[in-house]
Amino acid sequence: MQRSTCAQCGSNLEPQNITHRQQWGDELYEFESVPALVCVRCGEVWLEAEVGQLIEKIIQQHPQPKKYHHVPVFSLAEFTL
């Protein structure tokens, strides 16, 4: 069953392929070409249950990723304005 309106604001949802980042424990995973429904007004992103299940399956099976990002991480506690 496909959602047709945003549960946040009630506006229409538009199908889009998005880049989705998923936090999993301490790890961050990124998924490209994720079919999603995006609210035309507030931008809230909704993933179908099957898409969420597929993402979970990919994380658990951990196949070879297409590519890696190298992400610099800073702690603001170590810097001042």
- Residues in contact with Zn ion by CB under 5 A are 6, 8-9, 11, 39, 41-42, 44
Decide the pairing of beta strands 45-46 and 27-39: antiparallel
Calculate the alpha carbon distances from 81 to 15, 36, 58, 68, 78 in Å.
41, 38, 41, 31, 11
Name the residue nearer to Zn ion (CB basis): 12 or 53: 12
Q: Indicate the residue among 14 and 32 with the shorter CB distance to Zn ion.
A: 14
Whole-number minimum distance, CB 13 to Zn ion, in Å?
8
Least distance in angstroms from the C-beta of 65 to Zn ion: 31
